[in-house]
């Protein structure tokens, strides 16, 4: 399976979270927005690392047949290394693992060895120090702005300081790393996240719970661009 180009590192990217779509209509939801966005965000939950169960590799494989958009898979699972190969085979372009599960360096190396981009996520209460040793060996940092598990939660502004700290290190060290924020992103919070240094915006309910998801992607981009 060859993997898609993520687009320019550091450029503004929208990544609608399919978690807030109708799972009985997943391909349609993906196709509805995919021309209007850079990535599609796939929330994988195992009922162990987080108290919810969602999507696994077979669903990613099905989605892959219906969209050519970059599939940004967010693995909220306790044992990501067991499943990275299955996600790569299914057509995931990127896999992001959580720092809280441990064995991070090996998971990032595995993801890259499988031809995917490698991301590292941190929960709102996980400090920057959990990311720092890995920054040279990854493609994406994901700062959670809610505790993972469910869509539709309120944005936690206290994580913005961490976003700014990560962006500073990316700039100072000239790293080719995208900086993504996930949780409670909407037209109000997107500009704050971008001002803090995020360049990939995940949004679930602000897109798929709106009456017109395509219009919602445009509104989010305008808000994020400060236009
Ligand atoms: C939360 C997920 C998020 C979530 C975002 O556990 O990782 O991607 O779907 O949903 P909203 O945008 O509704 O907060
Ligand atoms: Zn997510």
| Beta strand spans in the chain (E) | 13-16, 39-45, 70-76, 94-98, 117-122, 140-144, 178-182, 200-203
- Tell me the best of 14, 15, 19, 55 to mutate to test the pocket of ligand 1, counting ligand atoms within 8 Å of each CB and taking the most: 19
- The three-class DSSP label of residue 17 is strand
pTM: 0.98
User: What residue spans define the domains of the chain?
Assistant: 22-225
Topology of domain 22-225 in CATH is: TIM Barrel (3.20.20)
Q: Provide residues with CB under 6 Å of ligand 1.
A: 17, 19-20, 41, 43, 74, 146, 148-153, 182-185, 202-206
Q: How far apart are CA 177 and CA 64, in angstroms?
A: 24
- Give the pLDDT mean for 32-52: 98
Distance CA(189)–CA(163), nearest Å, equals 13
Label residue 3 by pLDDT band (50, 70, 90): confident
pLDDT, average across residues 188-201: 98
Q: pLDDT tens digits, residue range 61-113? A: 999 999 999 999 999 999 999 999 999 999 999 999 999 998 999 999 999 99
Q: Tell me the CA–centroid distance for residue 143 and ligand 1, in Å.
A: 12
Kindly tell me if the per-residue pLDDT of 4 is higher than 80: yes
Ligand 1 atom with the shortest distance to the CA of 152 = 13
Q: Is pLDDT of 1 > 90?
A: no
Q: How far is CA 31 from the centre of its chain?
A: 18
If 0-12 CB within 10 Å is exposed, 13-18 middle and 19+ buried, where does residue 2 land?
Answer: exposed
Q: What is the mean pLDDT of the chain?
A: 97
């Amino acid at each position: 399976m060859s993997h898609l180009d993520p687009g320019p590192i550091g450029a503004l990217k929208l990544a609608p979270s399919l978690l807030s779509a109708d799972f009985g209509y997943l391909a349609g939801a993906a196709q509805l927005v995919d021309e209007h966005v850079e990535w599609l965000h796939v929330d994988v939950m195992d009922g162990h690392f987080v108290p919810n169960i969602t999507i696994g590799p077979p669903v990613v494989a099905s989605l892959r047949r219906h969209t050519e958009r970059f599939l940004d898979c967010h693995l909220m699972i306790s044992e990501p290394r067991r499943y990275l190969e299955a996600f790569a085979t299914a057509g995931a372009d990127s896999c992001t693992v959580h720092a809280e599960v441990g064995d991070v360096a090996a998971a990032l190396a595995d993801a890259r060895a499988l031809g995917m981009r490698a991301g590292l996520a941190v929960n709102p209460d996980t400090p920057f120090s959990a990311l720092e040793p890995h920054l040279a060996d990854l493609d994406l940092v994901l700062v959670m702005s809610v505790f993972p598990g469910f869509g539709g939660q309120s944005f936690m502004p206290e994580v913005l300081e961490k976003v700014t700290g990560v962006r500073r290190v990316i700039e100072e060290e000239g790293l080719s790393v995208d900086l993504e924020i996930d949780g409670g992103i909407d037209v109000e919070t997107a500009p704050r996240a971008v001002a803090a240094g995020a360049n990939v915006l995940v949004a679930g309910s602000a897109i798929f719970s709106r009456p017109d998801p395509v219009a919602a992607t445009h509104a989010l981009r305008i808000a994020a661009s400060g236009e």
